[in-house]
Amino acid sequence: MPESLQQPVREALLDAFWRYERALMSNDLDALDVLFAPGDGTIRGDAAGILVGHDAISGFRKGRGGAPARDVLHVQVIDIADDAALVIAVTAPLTGGRGQQSQLWRRVAGSWVVAAAHVSLPAPAVNSSIWRTVGTPLVAGAPTGALLGETVAVKDLFEVEGFPVGAGIPAYLAESMPATGTSPAVASLLAAGASITGIARTDEFAYSIAGRSPHYGTPPNPAVNGAVPGGSSSGPVSAVATGQASIGLGTDTAGSIRVPASYQGLWGLRSTHGAVSMDRLVALAPSFDTVGWITRDAATLLAAAGSSLDAQRQRAVEPRFVIAQALAAHVEPGVGEAFGVAVAGLEATEVDLGDIDDLFRTFRTVQAAEAWRTHGAWIEAHPGALGEDVAARFAFASTITAEQESAGRAALATARARLESVLGDSVLLVPSASSIAPSVQADAALIERTRQDTLRLTCIAGLTGRPAVSAPLLGVPQPGALLPAPVGPRFADLAVIGLADGLTPTE
Amino acid sequence: MPESLQQPVREALLDAFWRYERALMSNDLDALDVLFAPGDGTIRGDAAGILVGHDAISGFRKGRGGAPARDVLHVQVIDIADDAALVIAVTAPLTGGRGQQSQLWRRVAGSWVVAAAHVSLPAPAVNSSIWRTVGTPLVAGAPTGALLGETVAVKDLFEVEGFPVGAGIPAYLAESMPATGTSPAVASLLAAGASITGIARTDEFAYSIAGRSPHYGTPPNPAVNGAVPGGSSSGPVSAVATGQASIGLGTDTAGSIRVPASYQGLWGLRSTHGAVSMDRLVALAPSFDTVGWITRDAATLLAAAGSSLDAQRQRAVEPRFVIAQALAAHVEPGVGEAFGVAVAGLEATEVDLGDIDDLFRTFRTVQAAEAWRTHGAWIEAHPGALGEDVAARFAFASTITAEQESAGRAALATARARLESVLGDSVLLVPSASSIAPSVQADAALIERTRQDTLRLTCIAGLTGRPAVSAPLLGVPQPGALLPAPVGPRFADLAVIGLADGLTPTE
């Protein structure tokens, strides 16, 4: 069956193979570009997913900064035709382990080029962009309970007895002593039978929604190869998306559960403000801080939330939906369209939330004042400890005057009263984020614009203390995930999960 | 360039692809065998390495017990010829994450079959066959020192402050409290700047050299896909071989450093008995227990050992080599030949070690008596806690009478004196193991025979308390690794590493 390549043709193939290997080792991007087939059909895949098209692959290489040094242990050529062969190589990275590479080579106009490549590299002991500490398990749960068999990624803000808290900042971790107790939010999950897999990354002091860390690398987003994971619960969310845990335990002040859940096509609940104890947990802005969970399906989210919320205080909710067109201005066209399709037929009533920019400014003022009160002294004592983005945010927070804060709190009380009267017992439907996950290579301006728009959507739950579910209901337009977040009445957490689950289109 | 498949041909290909997918999900081994091309040229690769030949792949599937359930998210067909296509699929395991699969399909006698496959699955949070607990790092080392940048996998016998000790046994771990201090052997590495990546698996109470765990799975052997890792320092050795750590910290009573180092083509040192403190460390047989290190190269082994051994007590050694033909009876032919080639030209002198079976029986009697004294009470209090192999070994150990032990100790003293007078200041060259690493599917009889032969080689260092280096000097005949272990005079640890390094063939 397999035709044998003629000797000169085979030699030319192997010559191209080794030229490619040398170019890879010297990070000769031009040579690599020439050796990959031009056009939109060329494919490169690795553990993170596939890239399609010569230019996407070229862009990936530019951002990578070189492939890990390696020896080629073994090369096997499978002849296919006189212009096609599969070349399989087993590699030995100098840092240990084994890699594997399968390349489909085609001979085009007399030159051999790679038409498709599949690359496997040895896994690290732990993906340090997702996790700080991992065990098998790190902490065992109760032997029975509703969460038996579930595995938890705990955001590095919660205390777990015997381990320090890092809050996403190496200097903070370095000064942190092992906790002498365990946060109630963690203990609830353990008591219900879940085990703790590990302590996962957070954006610095949870004061970001992008999920990019200047210290530990950016956690992967398996739903959108090459995109940011979203934050600040970036580690727990990526742990759940990659299958390394089944429940992410996080916090949500201004969207830190909902945004990464949306970016990665997962389920997430920001719980009613005050419904779950915030003890033994690094705060950001206590007026808005809440505990929340991220899962791959609604049933697990319901179980996780159900194990942690006081059932006596939970209430039911009618499927009476409202929407606010004023939020549409802050949503990208693709998100707006998908959202329109999703809510069509729900008989959602339009409500007037007031001036969204005003609402956001009120939220931001009080949040910033509280964030600085929480962390300002530590930050001033540790110059240089924070990355640029979050340092700039705290610098802004430090400028909020007592008068501004006081005015903000008055405006907050007014806004709350008005929003409560408008929303009442109904459920507000709103996209969880203004866009799909931006690229990790996005410039700071784009990330900031996305942030500004998304926070206008997420702040409604923050201002009202209402629970909000991020659910992957807008479909997953390849490859992004766009999600509406029902924002329900306070203490309707579980009911709103159920409502959202009821909205899920059946296939 | 790429020919387009004619529509019926393409439909037949996609039909075969989906039949394959269904067979994979239902673990229909017969259907899978039919859909993989017959013959010795068929290849299947994944993170563990490649399997070559239809039958090897079929055997792997039989042992696997089914592939993880998944959805196929995306299928892309690259046409190559009218009898060849590459089919790339992105998969979504039900347990999260993304997988990727590249298959070269050939049309043979009208039927489409897979000629080569490359499979990527999402990585777990941590490979629990290698590790118990992992951090980034778990414990940071000193900011300067000879081991700066090195990462350590600590065998789960050593105390690390704040963490329990598991000794490879879940029931033992469950009763273990967090250590209140750190073993001196661990502390030496930290003081020299190495950081602790994690706590890695050991065979139960270190009383095995196979590396198979009945509790946590068998750690991988990247040097020999599908082979056992060797034990009892199985976790640290696999961690180093896979590149998940650069230094393995282990123990060696009867070969627990040298055997896994040999099986995985690494460097390993069993240190001089008594040269490194055994404090805060689960013992097995104190008359023979030693600390040791595993690395990927001689320089790192020298640095790790040098940071832990008292330089004042270390001595030099002349390159005066001896060999013992009596050991050859316990070595497989391939190992014997490679060993003969390696020692040719070293002008090694033949020495008479005495009856090897007698020596081994002496070693085994004292080892067993001490092992039972160390762990017998715990084992009797925890019926069923141990796996079959190690339970049987302890059952034998429990039968050693006081008279037998006493006679054994007398024989030990005699053997030591005799071996010391025979070996003197020379360096004994001996293979580290009787064979390359056996298959994980090897039956108990083969594993036991390998063990009996290998222990006859390794017990010489045990009986004399001499240091022994396992060095990958016999080459790595694809895919196994065969290694001679220079056994040097006591306290010539570092000198013997240097000697072994000098024997390394230059390429």
Q: What is the CATH number of the domain that holds A84?
A: 3.10.450.50
* One domain, residues B256 and B362: no
- Are the beta carbons of A127 and B131 separated by less than 8 Å? no
The segments of chain A whose pLDDT lies below 70 read 1-3, 475-486, 504-507
Count Cβ atoms below 10 Å from residue A272 Cβ, excluding itself: 26
* One domain, residues A109 and A195: no
- Are the beta carbons of B45 and A88 separated by less than 8 Å? yes
Nearest CA in chain B to A108: B1
Active site residue B232: yes
In the stretch 107-146 of chain B, residues with CB closer than 8 A to chain A read 108, 115-116, 118, 120, 122-128, 130-136, 138
Tokens coding B36:
């993989």
DSSP letters for B141-159 = --SSSTTTT-EEEEETTB-
Last residue of one domain, picked from the residues A120, A152, A182: A120
pLDDT at A505: 62
Active site residue B183: no
CB contacts of B178 in chain A (<8 Å) are 162
Burial class from Cβ neighbours inside 10 Å (0-12, 13-18, 19+) for residue A264 reads buried
* One domain, residues A360 and A497: yes
Last residue of one domain, picked from the residues B101, B120, B139: B120
pLDDT at B505: 62
Determine if the pTM surpasses 0.90: yes
- Are the beta carbons of A74 and B478 separated by less than 8 Å? yes
> β-strands A111-120, A43-46: how paired?
parallel
Nearest by CB: A162 against B108, B122, B162 = B162
* One domain, residues B379 and B417: yes
- Among A4, A5, A118, which would you mutate to test the B interface (most chain B Cβ atoms within 10 Å of its Cβ)? A118
**Catalytic residue chosen out of the listed positions B233, B256, B271, B434:** B256
Does some domain include residue A125?
no
Assess: ipTM above 0.85: yes
* One domain, residues B325 and B391: yes
Does some domain include residue B371?
yes
* One domain, residues B377 and B423: yes
CB contacts of B90 in chain A (<8 Å) are 45, 49-50
Q: Considering only CA atoms, which of A310, A308, A314 is closest in space to residue A146?
A: A308
**Catalytic residue chosen out of the listed positions B155, B234, B262, B434:** B155
CB contacts of A82 in chain B (<8 Å) are none
Does some domain include residue A77?
yes
pLDDT at A341: 84
Residues in chain B: 507
Gap from A374 CA to chain B (nearest CA, Å): 27
> How many angstroms separate the CA atoms of B12 and B10, rounded?
5
In the stretch 254-293 of chain A, residues with CB closer than 8 A to chain B read none
- Are the beta carbons of A243 and B95 separated by less than 8 Å? yes
- Among B120, B201, B213, which would you mutate to test the A interface (most chain A Cβ atoms within 10 Å of its Cβ)? B120
Q: Considering only CA atoms, which of B197, B237, B230 is closest in space to residue B213?
A: B230
Gap from A330 CA to chain B (nearest CA, Å): 30
> How many angstroms separate the CA atoms of B453 and B458, rounded?
9
Structural contact between residues B362 and B460, judged by C-beta atoms closer than 8 angstroms: no
CB contacts of A131 in chain B (<8 Å) are 125, 136
Q: How far is CA B37 from CA A409, A489, B89, B106, in A?
A: 72, 60, 19, 8
Please give the angle made by the CA atoms of A392, A398 and A400, to the nearest 5 degrees.
Answer: 120
Nearest CA in chain B to A98: B222
* One domain, residues A174 and A233: yes
* One domain, residues B279 and B193: yes
Does some domain include residue A126?
no
In the stretch 400-439 of chain A, residues with CB closer than 8 A to chain B read none
Give the DSSP H or E segment for A429.
strand A427-431
Tell which phi-psi region holds residue A381, choosing left (phi > 0), alpha (psi between -120 and 50) or beta: alpha
- Are the beta carbons of B104 and A80 separated by less than 8 Å? yes
* One domain, residues A182 and A39: no
Residues 6+ apart with CB under 8 A from A73: A89, A90, A91, A92, A98
- The answer to whether residue B87 neighbours chain A at the CB level (below 8 Å) is no
Helix axes B356-381, B388-397, angle to 10 degrees: 110
pLDDT at B441: 86
Nearest by CB: B125 against A74, A98, A134 = A134
* One domain, residues A336 and A269: no
In chain B, the N- to C-terminal Cα span, in Å, equals: 42
- Are the beta carbons of B84 and A88 separated by less than 8 Å? no
pLDDT tens by residue, chain B, 507 residues: 445 788 999 999 999 999 999 999 999 999 999 999 999 999 999 888 889 999 999 999 998 889 999 999 999 999 999 999 999 999 999 999 999 999 999 999 999 999 999 999 999 999 999 999 999 999 999 999 999 999 999 999 999 999 999 999 999 999 999 999 999 999 999 999 999 999 999 999 999 999 999 999 999 999 888 899 999 999 999 999 999 999 999 999 999 999 999 999 999 999 999 999 999 999 999 999 999 999 999 999 999 999 999 999 999 998 899 999 999 889 988 888 888 888 888 889 999 999 999 999 999 999 999 999 999 999 999 999 999 999 999 999 999 999 999 999 999 999 999 999 999 999 999 999 999 999 998 888 998 999 999 999 999 999 999 999 998 877 643 333 334 566 778 899 999 999 988 876 654
Does some domain include residue A2?
no
Does some domain include residue A381?
yes
Domain count for chain B: 3
Structural contact between residues B244 and B153, judged by C-beta atoms closer than 8 angstroms: yes
> How many angstroms separate the CA atoms of A497 and B426, rounded?
75
pLDDT at B476: 46
* One domain, residues A306 and A333: no
Does some domain include residue A377?
yes
Range of the domain at A300: 131-311
Burial class from Cβ neighbours inside 10 Å (0-12, 13-18, 19+) for residue B290 reads buried
> How many angstroms separate the CA atoms of A147 and B210, rounded?
36
Structural contact between residues B173 and B167, judged by C-beta atoms closer than 8 angstroms: yes
Quick check: helix, strand or coil at residue A156? coil
CB contacts of B123 in chain A (<8 Å) are 47, 123, 127, 242, 244
The upper half-sphere exposure of residue A400, i.e. CA atoms within 13 Å in the direction of its Cβ, equals: 24
> How many angstroms separate the CA atoms of B178 and B201, rounded?
17
Does some domain include residue A144?
yes
* One domain, residues A353 and A488: yes
**Catalytic residue chosen out of the listed positions B129, B195, B232, B234:** B232
Widest CA span in chain A: 83
Last residue of one domain, picked from the residues B246, B281, B311: B311
In the stretch 165-184 of chain B, residues with CB closer than 8 A to chain A read 178
Gap from A66 CA to chain B (nearest CA, Å): 18
Q: What is the pLDDT of residues A112-121, one digit of tens each?
A: 999 999 999 9
Active site residue A208: no
Q: Domain containing A158 — which CATH number?
A: 3.90.1300.10
